Structure 1
Amino acid sequence: MSIPTSRLLDFSERPAFQDTRRRLVFCMCENEPGGLLGYLSLLKVDAVPLMLGTGLPTAQFQNLVSAYRPAFAWLPDNRVAEFSGGHVRLSHMGYSLVSAERDEVYAIDDSLALLLSTSGSTGTPKFVRLSHENILANAEAIGKYLGLTADERPITTLPPSYSYGLSIIHSHFLAGATIALTNKTFFDRGFWDFLKSSKVTSFGGVPYHYEMLKKLRFASMDLPSLRSLTQAGARMEPELTREFAELCKNKGIRYFSMYGQTEATARMSYLSPDKAIEKAGSIGRPIPGGAFWLEDEHGREIEGSDRAGELLYRGRNVSMGYAEGYQDLALGDERGGVLRTGDVARRDTDGDYYIVGRLKRFLKMFGHRINLQDVEAQLLAAGHAVVCGGQDDQLEVYLPQGSTEAGKLIKTKLVSDLKISPKAIRVYAVAELPRSDAGKVQYNKLKSLAGDALA
């Protein structure tokens, strides 16, 4: 269903929604008219939504209720009973606004506008605190570099509980565009039929989406209304990026590689389409109003080009900090507009940036630092698609549906390349890689899913 964003605000005038002003509201919704109608209404009345995916298990939902003590919940009708003891104030289009059994009043900072999880549907109580300014600044910047107008018509491909998916809604809503809402996936014939009938102009995806598009032979699809594709959410292999950049150029479609974190509301940088082929793998330059710089391990700014260091970002979209329970909602801005991304990057001579690893994705192997992302890339070049983890002096390699023969080949290569003892390497088979809603590998779950060591 396509909904012009100009029609979404009248709903908020209902008394039940007016009562949510400056109160915490658990907002569990999908890309459906009812769900997003409620979310946007909560923003309009100045409530504080905490976004949740509809796939969140009941036990985890109730743990979050205990930690945050929401005054209200906006959720699908079939989950109302999970908000124990609540009173239904309003029902509309498959969703209900429910007030809590006990009305607990606690302090909420005046700037706080939204809470987003960094971990998809895992149910962790750690959420990012976002201000009104964060949301507006990021939506404006995204609209500016994408050149969004009221003529745009994006289709939803990501859940609204995920910062990338929500940023698409925010930026297009601000531009006065019409959003084509669907929960269907690329593998549903109905998705492509809806995309064509709605004359969709753009969609976004994480690397997993682009891997699926390749399998679905996107190159042969006839989608005359499509004007732009965006990619963010995680690092995509440069080869796949270049493949889609070339494909889009041939089809007359703009292709944007982008970089962001929930801690920066959503977006921090983008690579303009004219550089997409030449600089595949780059995250480009900061969004309008933002700034990057690099620091070494001693906190000194790195000048010049092609030296790696931690990537730092400054901008109005940098979040206020984290929350792990209702007591933290009274906290003000703890970051002052500066975010240490935790990513290691380098800057080329043109001023474009490249992510080369994560600070936490380095191991010390007998005194030498090893970048796990580099190890994965070297093994991929040798024909082994793996994910690496472990701890200092113990490298762990996880091979989806791996065989003993492949495990031995991988171990032999790593011993030769890294010059380390075979005892310091373990290769495990996993049925499939655990991923979040955003398609990111959940490294903390790998060990629990692994079978016996292959090598």
Structure 2
Amino acid sequence: MSLQVQGVFDLSRYGDAPALVLDDRLVTYAELQQLVNDRAAWLGPVRRLVMVEGANALEPIVTYLAALAGGHPVLLVPGTREGAPRRQWDRLLESYRPDVTHRRDGVWSLEEHRAGTVHELHPDLALLLGTSGSTGTPKLVRLSRENLVTNAEAIAESLGITADDRAATSLPVHYCYGLSVLNSHLVRGASLWLTERSVVEDEFWDGFARHRATSFAGVPYTFELLEQSGFEGRDLSSLRLVTQAGGAMPADRARAWARRGEEHGFDLVVMYGQTEATARMAYLPPHLAAERAGTIGIPIPGGDLRIEGGELVYSGPNVMLGYAETPADLALGRTVHELRTGDLARQHDDGLYEITGRCNRLAKLFGTRLDLDVVERLLGECGIDARAIEHDGRLAVFVRRHSLAERVSGLIQREHCLPAHAVDVTIVDRFPVTPNGKTDYPALARHVADRPTVDDSVRAMYATVLGRPDAGDDDSFVSLRGDSLSFVEVSYRLERMLGHLPRDWPERSIAELDASTRRRRRWTTRLETAVVLRALAIVLVVGSHVELFDLMGGAHVMLGVVGFNLARFQLAAVPRRERLALVGASLRELVVPAVLWIGGVALVSGKYDLSTVLLANSWFGPGRFTDQWQFWFLEAVLWTVLGIGALVAVPVVDRWERARPFAVALVVLAATLALRLVLAGIEAGPLERYAVPTVAWSVALGWVIARATSVPQRVLASALVVVSCAGFFGEPRREVLVIAGLLLLAWLPRVPVPALLARVIVTVGAATYFIYLTHWVVYPPLEVDHSVLALLASLAVGIVTWQAYGLLRRRLTR
């Protein structure tokens, strides 16, 4: 006998119609019903608490539906792939002691913790979700089958969902908004394309077009990302509906998206909801999307809104049973009959509701009562994108550009009569957002609170050095988009804090690193080998040029370090568009100061040609080694990294590199070595050892070393180091130096150095490019009689130039 999901979904009625579309499989409603039946039979007849790691994948959805079918309450929680902490799972596991768990650790595993249950479960309890503002606390929203079915039906009716519709799962299913997309489509026999890709990835839109999806849902941050990622150029021929909820979208942005919809043939429906009402409570009909942008519209069918004491109150069959804070609360029935939203609102003459602020976003400063949402809206009307919080009796405002700070302070003082010392303006690189795309105000509060003691925690240090106030305990250097420039400073500070530096520290979470901090005075410290090699190599380069000693090869070691860091940071495990953005940013940090400096020297002295200024001597420069070739190292970095970036810009190559990182690095090394052999043979000539086509293999070799994670791979990489370098210069001492440097990179993660010397090494290592760039002008007047002074002056001028450029760049770009 066919089981049906009790009171929610009758899957069998839609037969062979498509239900779930995967990239490699289509699951019909009949097939889905059978999968649900089998899973429900496994769960058994005794009601038990089933904890499921939510994901846009077949396995957790089957378990979710099967639990509902068998009457088992589901505790749906985020998974680590959605950015949630693994310890959130552990905290809920410890607090609520589920009887069955379904989680993903590489593969999906269904685990039975006990045959029966230790809980008293209320007959109406069907689903437990974290509140929209929670970050893993045990407080949960208790929802009933009636909540689920009435909300799904009301949303389906509001949006006109039919069996012909196919939604892309652009939001995670553990999030109440994403789950309601699933529910409202299944209740009408519509289908869903299951994907866990981001809307900024080309692969998302390729799949959207291939599977003929008709709708997607987004939070305000989703639409910011879409505007930055070329949405207008996508194939939108099948798109008919876009919904937005999860926070207020600025009225001008809503109008712009409504107009896009008119141009491309889709409707925009702005919606409003909370987890406590099973997701969505109100919607703005699409024909009003542009005209009445800024309002939340009218209640969904069956719901009612009213304003009481300025606060918006919702009632309807989708209002939760109540909260659960302990396992004992799972036995409770209904304790809540209407939802006090916590939002301040007003109703217009045409019946539409508008949210004007939050009850808990009110602050009283120096006798003045401020609505922080109004502060943000005021600044927005003046063209200033800002976020505001109250902290320690002051108004803390966050903006993304230094040039806005004084204007923000003046506006707030005039409009709200606050004294100047009551307003604290902070510049951040970006506004932190929660996994659900809402502004993460607690992260901003932590950033302000941590500033006086920035070295007290790994999180605070990351926030400062990387400019990421949204850095959370579960973020890592890689997830925060650290690059090859910032890693020098971060690795040094981190080693001082931890007392050691794990090889995989860029991938480790802040919580893991913070847990092992050991702050004690030490006479030695261990720096990353890549940092030490950068510093040592530039000293060798400059020292050889001033003829203090004759140890050539440092620049080629630095090329290997460039490839090593490129693989670790620019080619980290992030979406392809972000990879390309990171490559572009690193090239910008190389090209802009180089062109400015070389161009300035050329204008003053006439020493350099245009091909040198544009770092293009390998293509247009003289056929013999002259002063025009002094910046060959920077050219090699620029064109090789640009070529690698172009390579991974190809979607299929990007996928191959992610699936087989070491193999792809080997292929690139083989290709660059083959090019070198064709152009120069085994031993390079005086010019060929500096030209881009014949030195690109040095960068590729560093890439291979970075991807060599096992002992056999490191052995192979080491052999390739020896084979690649041997004979290249025709100078055994130079070749041995390069081989030694690269072998250290492959086998020695960290180097112990005296603590007093570590800060010097870090500074020199961080300023490497600028020292190389400027030393050609600094040392010539001193090299004949004062070679030591020439070396020290070259290092000092490069460091000062690096610091001055960094200060200027921050002031101009922020």
How does the TM-score come out when normalised to structure 1?
A: 0.88
Deviation track 1:73-116 (CA, whole Å, cap 9, x = no partner) reads 011143xxxxxxxxxxxxxxx42210116865121111000011
Determine which structure has the larger strand proportion and give its number.
1
Letter in 2 for 1:51: L
Structure 1 residue 415, shift from structure 2 partner: 1.1
Matches within 5 A, 1:13-52: 13-14=37-38, 17-19=42-44, 21-52=46-77
Residue in 2 that maps onto 1:373: 373
Q: Which residue, out of 281, 292, 297, partners 1:268?
A: 281
1:74 maps to 2:98: no
Identify the structure with bigger relative contact order (alpha carbons < 8 Å, sequence gap 6+). 1
Moved more, 358-367 or 313-322: 358-367
Residue in 2 that maps onto 1:355: 355
Letter in 2 for 1:436: T
1:227 maps to 2:240: yes
Structure 1 residue 132, shift from structure 2 partner: 0.6
1:288 maps to 2:292: no
Deviation track 1:385-444 (CA, whole Å, cap 9, x = no partner) reads 1111115852111224x43x4323211221122111112211223343332221011212
Aligned residues: 424
Q: Distance in 2 between matches of 1:273 and 1:147?
A: 11
Structure 1 residue 136, shift from structure 2 partner: 0.4
Moved more, 51-60 or 319-328: 51-60
Q: Which residue, out of 416, 419, 441, partners 1:418?
A: 416
Structure 1 residue 43, shift from structure 2 partner: 1.6
Q: Provide the aligned C-alpha RMSD in A.
A: 2.0
Matches within 5 A, 1:101-112: 104-112=117-125
Structure 1 residue 17, shift from structure 2 partner: 3.0
Residue in 2 that maps onto 1:154: 167
Residue in 1 that maps onto 2:266: 253
Q: Distance in 2 between matches of 1:35 and 1:438?
A: 19
Deviation track 1:215-264 (CA, whole Å, cap 9, x = no partner) reads 22323333111111100010000000000001102222111000000000
Residue in 2 that maps onto 1:449: 447
Residue in 1 that maps onto 2:580: none
- SS state of the match for residue 167, structure 2? coil
Structure 1 residue 37, shift from structure 2 partner: 1.8
Q: Distance in 1 between matches of 2:58 and 2:370?
A: 48
Residue in 2 that maps onto 1:300: none
Any conservation in 2 of the 1:75–1:96 contact (CA below 8 Å)?
A: yes
Residue in 1 that maps onto 2:396: 396
Any conservation in 2 of the 1:256–1:276 contact (CA below 8 Å)?
A: yes
Letter in 2 for 1:73: T
Q: Which residue, out of 416, 426, 429, partners 1:428?
A: 426
Determine which structure has the larger helix proportion and give its number.
2
Residue in 1 that maps onto 2:613: none
Change (3 A) 1:120 1:77: farther
Letter in 2 for 1:315: G
Q: Distance in 2 between matches of 1:275 and 1:326?
A: 45
Deviation track 1:329-385 (CA, whole Å, cap 9, x = no partner) reads 01111112x110000011110100000000011112334322111111221233321
Moved more, 248-257 or 426-435: 426-435
Q: Distance in 2 between matches of 1:20 and 1:370?
A: 55
Q: Distance in 2 between matches of 1:145 and 1:350?
A: 19
1:341 maps to 2:341: yes
Structure index of larger Rg? 2
How does the TM-score come out when normalised to structure 2?
A: 0.50
Long gaps (5+) in structure 1: 79-93, 297-308
1:54 maps to 2:67: no
Any conservation in 1 of the 2:99–2:113 contact (CA below 8 Å)?
A: yes
Structure 1 residue 150, shift from structure 2 partner: 0.9
Q: Distance in 2 between matches of 1:217 and 1:420?
A: 41
- Overall identity of the aligned pairs, in %: 40
Any conservation in 2 of the 1:120–1:437 contact (CA below 8 Å)?
A: no
Letter in 1 for 2:244: Q
Q: Distance in 2 between matches of 1:146 and 1:104?
A: 40
Letter in 2 for 1:13: N
